[in-house]
Amino acid sequence: MSLVDINSKVGEPWVELPDGHELESWGKEERITWNQQGRQAEKYRFFRQIFDFITDNSISGAYHEYGCHRVRTFRMALTEARRHGLSEMDFFAFDSFQGLPDSTSSPDHAVWKQGALSTSEADFKRLIGEHGIFADRVRTIPGFYADSLSEDLQKRFVEEEQPIALACIDCDLYESAVPVFRFIEPMLQEGSVLYLDDLFAGYRGSPVRGVARAFSEFRARSRFKFVRHVNIGWWGRSYIAYKDDPSVPVDLD
């Protein structure tokens, strides 16, 4: 049973709950498996919904992912793009392919150390190939964002590539998210979706730290407004870019 399968029952406590006997040998491995099943199921639920959203709203463009690691979310995007017949979509994978940088923002997370969450570019490409969907449309941009997301690359993307339909920002740290938001700004269009995976992760849920802070700072200076859209578990949210109309009061956060 995973987090997504909550079964109701007749009588107290009205839902099926494992008892002490069933959890007798429950330990760290079981906890990790349990949480991963629940988290990846929530993310996949999101990708299924958001590809329906972008197709239904005729938002054409590219998929960008900032933080690719084990290719879980990237495979979800490819699968749903295939399901929705988006054969013109380009897919860009931005990652150091060496794991996290040395952090300067003091996250409260046991795993987020320098070099953690590392998947090599070769392994990333192998997993994409094995998945077997639009592999020839996937391009990697290796490097730490502070260097790789240069003004020259930004200019090239603006001039030569599709605008962003969906960007998955899954790079954990404040200092990683800051250059990402700066980089994507000129590639946004009305209807671009930003999926912020770590809005409440790694910094005790504080909105003045982490990815939440980077997003708030970006929002304050962007030429677009962002309306809150789908919640993804306890950790993430998506937002839709829209053009402001000062004559219309908007109250949807």
Question: Is 237 near ligand SAM (CB under 6 A)?
Answer: no
Residue 9 Cβ vs ligand SAM, minimum distance, rounded to whole Å: 34
The one among 3, 41, 48, 70 contacting ligand SAM by CB under 6 A: 70
67: left (phi > 0), else alpha (psi -120 to 50), else beta? Answer: left
Judged by CB under 6 A, the residue of 72, 82, 209, 213 near ligand SAM is 72
H-state helical runs in the chain = 28-56, 72-83, 121-131, 145-148, 151-160, 174-184, 210-221
> Tokens at residue 110, please?
């046991």
Question: Which segment (18-26, 48-56, 168-176, 203-211) binds ligand SAM by CB under 6 A?
Answer: 168-176
Cα separation, 52 vs 135, whole angstroms = 21
**69 contacts ligand SAM (rule: CB under 6 A):** yes
**Calpha distance 111→116 (Å, rounded):** 7
8-state DSSP, 84 = T
Closest chain position to ligand SAM (CB): 67
Q: Please tell me the number of Cα atoms within 13 Å of 230 on its side-chain side.
A: 21
Contacts of 248 (CB under 8 A, 6+ apart): none
Residue 6's CB: how many other CB atoms inside 10 A? Answer: 10
Q: Please state the closest distance from residue 245 (CB atom) to ligand SAM, in A.
A: 34
| Ranges within 174-233 binding ligand SAM (CB under 6 A) | 176
Tokens 């239904």 map to which residue? 56
- Segment contacting ligand SAM by CB under 6 A, of 96-104, 132-140, 232-240, 244-252: 96-104
C-alpha to C-alpha distance for 76 and 225, rounded to whole angstroms:
27
Q: Which residue has the tokens 């671009």?
A: 192
73 is a contact residue toward ligand SAM (CB under 6 A):
yes
Instruction: Establish if 39 lies at the interface with ligand SAM (CB under 6 A).
Output: no
Determine if 171 is a binding residue for ligand SAM (CB under 6 A). Answer: yes
Residue 167 contacts ligand SAM per CB under 6 A: no
Interface with ligand SAM includes 100 (CB under 6 A)?
yes
Judged by CB, which is closer to ligand SAM: 59, or 100? 100
Nearer of residues 171 and 241 to ligand SAM, judged by Cβ: 171
Which residues form the interface with ligand SAM (CB under 6 A)?
Answer: 67-73, 95-96, 99-101, 117, 144-145, 170-173, 176
